[in-house]
Amino acid sequence: MAHYLVTGGAGFIGSHVTELLLKEGHRVRVLDNFSTGKHENIPKGAELFHGDMRHLEEIRPAFEGIDGVFHLAAMPRVPYSIQFPIETNENNVTGTLNVFVAARDAKVKRVVYSASSSAYGNQPRAPYTPDMKPNPLNPYAIQKYVGELYATQFFKLFNLPTVSLRYFNVYGPRMANEGAYVTVIAIFMRQKKAGEPLTIDGDGSQARDFTHVHDVARANYLAMTSEKAGHGEVINIGGGEKPHSVKDIADIIGGPVAYREPRKGDPALTWADLTLTKELIGWEPQIKFGEGLRTLLRENGIEPAS
Ligand SMILES: NC(=O)c1ccc[n+]([C@@H]2O[C@H](COP(=O)([O-])OP(=O)(O)OC[C@H]3O[C@@H](n4cnc5c(N)ncnc54)[C@H](O)[C@@H]3O)[C@@H](O)[C@H]2O)c1
């Protein structure tokens, strides 16, 4: 049994990582400041360390006796980062650097960093491989990318084993359904329930690689335990299918749609190549998007139109 720390464990993805670790028989401590996280998200059996990663000395005690850190805490909001680049930088960059410093000083054996496919921005070809030149289109994307650079550098400079996982649009139970940045699926579900038209930004042809949160949680566990990884690598975590357009998702949900101006800082496509991921951590997604989406819709009382 290992003792793991999950930063952001009161959030959407972090709560699923925590749940999986507990199920695997490990001890789990959650570090969170509840800026977007919720107490009720934290699975029973996890310890709670209420702290803010922007303050290094405040969070150091959370790392004592910890074998591995899953670093998910962040302010994951694109439009908010455009409006408030300094506040989001303090959380996503300074906070992340503090996590690496605290982990290094506490002699943690590995840190798995939640990176983002937003580092790719738009690329000349797809699917995207981690060796492509990053092209962040907004402050959030820059901030998440800087976290990767620190992850790799902390391995090279200080021998702190790290792995960065670039998630592609994560969806599933407990995903955010309010606030400045919610995924298109959550927005559509809210609109459908309220009897409103589904709002499509631009022409709806923008396509996304969607990944189920249970698959993402499993990827985190494998990234922590795989012997081949831990040398500052950056790998993709995607859904393993051709991307789905926003219009396609609206069709599955069904009902009237309303078109709006395209959103600033939004890429036209996200699509993960998973070759390196499979090689390094032996992970492949298990949940097909059509199945995962329809299950999520039904869990939320929505009968899919197709
Ligand atoms: N959801 C996605 O589709 C997606 C895609 C790519 C990457 N990611 C990354 O995955 C991670 C988790 O995302 P999520 O969707 O679960 O977001 P979330 O907002 O649900 O969870 C983030 C958690 O971090 C906590 N937090 C924020 N700032 C903090 C601070 N200063 N100190 C301590 N805790 C703090 C929040 O309270 C929250 O519980 C983030 O790092 C995000 O950038 C998410």
Same domain, residue pair 201 and 152: no
Q: CA–CA separation, 38 vs 15, rounded Å?
A: 10
The pLDDT confidence band at residue 150, using thresholds 50, 70 and 90, is very high
**89-93, 229-233, 267-271, range with the lowest pLDDT:** 267-271
Say if 157 falls within a structural domain. Answer: yes
- Among positive and negative, which fits the CA dihedral 242, 243, 247, 248? positive
Residue 282 has pLDDT above 70, yes or no: yes
Say if 63 falls within a structural domain. Answer: yes
Same domain, residue pair 294 and 202: yes
The pLDDT confidence band at residue 179, using thresholds 50, 70 and 90, is low
Same domain, residue pair 35 and 117: yes
For the CA atoms of the chain, what is the radius of gyration?
A: 18
Give me the DSSP letters along 74-123. ----HHHHHH-HHHHHIIIIIHHHHHHHHHHHTT-SEEEEEEEGGGT-S-
Same domain, residue pair 153 and 259: no
Q: What is the mean pLDDT of residues 104-113?
A: 98
Query: According to the model, what pLDDT value does residue 264 have?
Result: 78
Residue 163 has pLDDT above 90, yes or no: yes
Q: What is the mean pLDDT of residues 55-60?
A: 98
Say if 278 falls within a structural domain. Answer: no
Q: Which residue's C-alpha comes closest to atom 12 of ligand 1? A: 72
Of 120, 140, 171, 221, which is the active-site residue?
140
Same domain, residue pair 26 and 160: yes
Query: According to the model, what pLDDT value does residue 79 have?
Result: 86
Same domain, residue pair 199 and 220: no
Say if 20 falls within a structural domain. Answer: yes
Residue 125 has pLDDT above 70, yes or no: yes
Same domain, residue pair 117 and 75: yes
The CATH number given to whatever domain includes residue 186 is 3.90.25.10
Residue 161 Cα to chain centre, angstroms: 20
- Among positive and negative, which fits the CA dihedral 227, 230, 234, 236? positive
Domain count, the chain: 2
Say if 306 falls within a structural domain. Answer: no
Calculate how far, in angstroms, residue 305's C-alpha sits from the geometric centre of ligand 1.
Answer: 31
The pLDDT confidence band at residue 194, using thresholds 50, 70 and 90, is very high
Q: What is the mean pLDDT of residues 93-100?
A: 98
Ligand 1 pocket, CB under 6 A: 8, 10-14, 32-37, 52-54, 72-76, 91, 95, 114, 116, 144, 167, 169-170, 176, 183
Residue 181 has pLDDT above 90, yes or no: no
Calculate how far, in angstroms, residue 243's C-alpha sits from the geometric centre of ligand 1.
Answer: 23
The pLDDT confidence band at residue 265, using thresholds 50, 70 and 90, is confident
Same domain, residue pair 138 and 195: no
Domain residue limits at 193 = 176-209+240-269+287-299
Q: What is the mean pLDDT of residues 126-140?
A: 97
Say if 281 falls within a structural domain. Answer: no
The pLDDT confidence band at residue 162, using thresholds 50, 70 and 90, is very high
pLDDT digits (tens, 9 = 90+) for 5-37: 999 999 999 999 999 999 999 999 999 999 999
CB-based burial of residue 94 (10 Å sphere; 0-12 exposed, 13-18 middle, 19+ buried)? middle
Q: What is the mean pLDDT of residues 203-218?
A: 96
Same domain, residue pair 104 and 36: yes
Average pLDDT of every residue of the chain: 95
Residue 145 has pLDDT above 60, yes or no: yes
The CATH number given to whatever domain includes residue 223 is 3.40.50.720
Same domain, residue pair 95 and 194: no
Tell me, yes or no, if 140 is annotated catalytic.
Answer: yes
Same domain, residue pair 12 and 29: yes
Say if 279 falls within a structural domain. Answer: no
Say if 132 falls within a structural domain. Answer: yes
Same domain, residue pair 10 and 47: yes
The atom number, within ligand 1, closest to the CA of 34 reads 37
